[in-house]
Copies of this chain bind each other. A is one copy, B any other.
Amino acid sequence: MSYSFPVVPRYLEIDQQGVVFYGHYLTWFDEAFTGFLAHVGVPYPDLIASGVDVQVVHAELDYAESVRWGDEVHVRVTSERVGSTSLTTAFAVHRTPDAPEPAVAGRLVHVCVAPADDWRKCPVPDALRAALGA
């Protein structure tokens, strides 16, 4: 299950070196993940409404190339693994829709939690598991 999320780099995301500040990619991953959930048919608001929220427990990023203002960025999102309570999702930031190699590649691990049960870990809902093709 893969998905591509377009991003227009914002002027304030560009730093003094003329490139996107390395911390902002997590913001893009976050927005891309939300788009991905909607794309697979389990929008985040529906997930919340069903009593399940997600929290990030791990993030990693590898920076191969700089992204600049004006780049037509696409973030490709791929579900890598669905565990009993966790989701591992890969993100690849491409500077143009057809760039062969990502400028930045990363990974988020989310755990499912139940806000009503004091935010304790809970199983990945079946609907989400199915939607992710696991």
| A57 at the B interface (CB under 8 A) | yes
| A55 at the B interface (CB under 8 A) | yes
| A3 at the B interface (CB under 8 A) | no
Q: Which of A27, A58, A69 has its CB near the most chain B CB atoms (within 10 A)?
A: A27
Complex contact A30–B23 (CB within 8 A): yes
Complex contact B59–A61 (CB within 8 A): yes
Complex contact A60–B61 (CB within 8 A): yes
| A120 at the B interface (CB under 8 A) | no
Complex contact B56–A63 (CB within 8 A): yes
Interface residues of A (CB under 8 A from B): 8, 10-12, 14-18, 21-24, 26-27, 29-31, 34, 45, 53, 55-64, 69-70
